[in-house]
């Protein structure tokens, strides 16, 4: 059975470390700020039930789903048991890079989203210091054992499913130190990163909206001859009368 997040237990353990807590604090702040401005009725979080990324949402129904204990709904992310066009908001915190079938997960998410529904994805940026750490370090430990997805590739996947990216942001610009004292010393890189190297954050967020184009109006091909017969003829002007009136006026 496929989990929504193949290393979900390891992820929670990693979030409890100084390095993971540094990332978690920035992710929680982004989700809190973003989901509160999205309106609707049904909000779904896939994976990571121990961390409520929907806590600031004002939607009446908010729940988590996944194949781990603690989720409101137990499911397989590649086969979501929800009606099509039923969710107003879905958040995917680090689901895709640890999924065996990320394309299928996105297809299911796109299916259950309502037209103009919102999707928010968070993922590790391979084109960053964190991505470099994964390339040169041990890939057996979390989160370096994940398949980091580049931002252009993820945008292409979303576009193919009719999901239009409307906003994005990066975070976690400090090097992936393990100790809090070093992370604190490089805290200045957060503000500097947003200004000077915005695409190099260790984590990225994408906000996409499901677009469903309306029907195109197909105009009939009119029979010009028939139309001219059905339309009332314009009144004819008597040139003689017009010329006489013009002469009298002069």
Separation between Cα atoms, residue 18 and residue 141, nearest integer Å? 15
Q: How far is CA 155 from CA 4, 25, 221, in A?
A: 20, 25, 40
CA dist., res. 38 & res. 89, Å (int): 8
Mean pLDDT by 10 residues, the chain (250 residues): 55 88 94 94 93 95 89 89 95 93 95 96 91 75 86 95 95 88 83 73 95 63 57 54 52
The pTM assigned to this predicted structure is: 0.79
Q: Give me the domains of the chain, ranges plus CATH numbers.
A: 8-210 (3.40.50.150)
pLDDT confidence of residue 59: 96
Q: Closest by alpha carbon to 36, among 58, 20, 52?
A: 58
Distant-in-sequence, close-in-space partners of 210: CB < 8 Å, separation ≥ 6: 110, 113, 114, 115, 116, 117, 118, 119, 162, 163, 164
């Amino acid at each position: 059975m496929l989990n929504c997040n193949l290393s979900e237990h390891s992820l929670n353990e990693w979030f409890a470390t100084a390095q993971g807590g540094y990332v978690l604090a920035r992710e929680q702040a982004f989700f809190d700020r973003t989901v509160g401005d999205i309106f609707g009725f049904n909000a779904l979080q896939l994976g990571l039930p121990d961390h409520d990324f929907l806590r600031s949402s004002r939607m009446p129904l908010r729940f988590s789903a996944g194949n781990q204990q603690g989720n409101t709904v137990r499911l397989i992310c590649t086969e979501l048991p929800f009606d099509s066009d039923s969710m107003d908001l879905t958040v995917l915190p680090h689901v895709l890079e640890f999924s065996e079938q990320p394309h299928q997960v996105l297809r299911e998410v796109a299916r259950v989203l309502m037209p103009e529904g919102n999707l928010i994805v968070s993922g590790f940026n391979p084109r960053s210091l964190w991505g470099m750490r994964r390339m040169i370090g041990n890939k057996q430990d979390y989160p370096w054992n994940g398949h980091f997805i580049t931002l252009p590739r993820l945008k292409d996947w979303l576009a193919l499913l009719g999901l239009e990216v409307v906003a994005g942001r990066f975070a976690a610009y400090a090097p992936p130190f393990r100790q809090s004292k070093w992370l604190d010393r490089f805290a200045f890189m957060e503000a500097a990163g947003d200004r000077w190297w915005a695409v190099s954050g260790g984590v990225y967020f994408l906000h996409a909206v499901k677009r469903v184009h309306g029907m195109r109006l197909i105009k009939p091909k009119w029979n010009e001859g028939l139309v001219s017969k059905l339309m009332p003829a314009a009144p004819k002007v008597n040139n003689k009368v017009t010329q006489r009136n013009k002469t009298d006026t002069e």
